[in-house]
Amino acid sequence: MTRIAIVEDDPIYTNQLQRYLAQYEKESGEKFLTVCFSDGVELVDHYSADYDILLLDIEMPGLDGMTAAERIRRVDREVVIIFITNMSQYAIRGYAVEALDYVLKPVSYYAFTQCIGRAMERMRRRTKQFHSVSTGKGETRKLELSHICFVEVLGHTLIYHTTEGEVTASGSMSEVERELSGRFFRCNKSYLVNLEHVDSIHGDLVTVGDQQLPVSRARKKPFLDALNNYINEVSK
């Protein structure tokens, strides 16, 4: 399912974009989860980096769409941005925030579907995969899966050990294990390991980058089986 945020201060255009998305769903078979914001301040203050597409009106009171996009790009480099505007000169500024496209008001259904189609195609071409984590204070970060070496749980805190450093987040290990099933596997109750980063296993220790993590007796065989399955899949 594709998560889309509509950021528009005019309820007439908000309703129109919602109708267009519903029609596009029927025609394309895509599934959308849509969240609406009435201005840029509301979007930025409540932004979670798990949206796939932003439909951003540029001219809004308080915080305009271009400034909102600039702030969002500081925490989310992957979300696809499409500007909705009645002034074509804003298209040049859109390159600064890596906007995919812009749609001129009044919005025609044909022009809208062309932009959404390009957005969906861009998402399909991506080879990177991301995991969104809540870092506290209402902030959400996207971590590239291939950059996560392992996840550690300490009490009620999750520590993501990545190639860029540690990221502390809230959540439960069981939830993360369900979300990252496939490439990740528990070596004991405290560590969820990215099998891509396993360098070796000696006795009851698995080497992940420059760290050695204990493998519990109960999990050793399932862990080895998961590692062998992963190696066989990537070597095909």
Say if residues 173 and 153 touch (Cβ distance below 8 Å).
Answer: yes
Task: Tell me how far apart the alpha carbons of residues 192 and 156 are, in angstroms, rounded to a whole number.
Answer: 15
Sign for the pseudo-dihedral over CA of 24, 8, 134, 207: positive
Adjacent-strand bridge partners of 174? none
Of all helices (H) and strands (E), which one includes residue 174?
A: helix 173-179
Tell me the two tokens of residue 162: 């990545």
Helix 11-28 vs helix 109-125: crossing angle, to nearest 10: 60
Which amino acid does the sequence have at 211?
Answer: Q
Residues 23-52: pLDDT tens digits?
999 999 999 999 999 999 999 988 877 899
Return the minimum-mean-pLDDT range out of 40-49, 150-159, 189-198. 40-49
Say if residues 157 and 167 touch (Cβ distance below 8 Å).
Answer: no
The CA angle 197-153-182, to the nearest 5 degrees, is 45
Task: Tell me how far apart the alpha carbons of residues 101 and 114 are, in angstroms, rounded to a whole number.
Answer: 10
Residues 170-192: pLDDT tens digits?
888 999 999 898 789 999 999 99
Residues 75-123: pLDDT tens digits?
888 899 999 987 666 555 555 577 888 888 999 999 999 999 999 988 8
Question: Which of the 8 DSSP states describes residue 183?
Answer: T
Task: Tell me how far apart the alpha carbons of residues 85 and 132 are, in angstroms, rounded to a whole number.
Answer: 30
pLDDT tier at 235 (50, 70, 90 boundaries)? very low
Q: What is the pLDDT of residue 88?
A: 61
Which residue is it, tokens 């369900």? 178
For residue 193, how many other CB atoms are within 10 A of its CB? 27
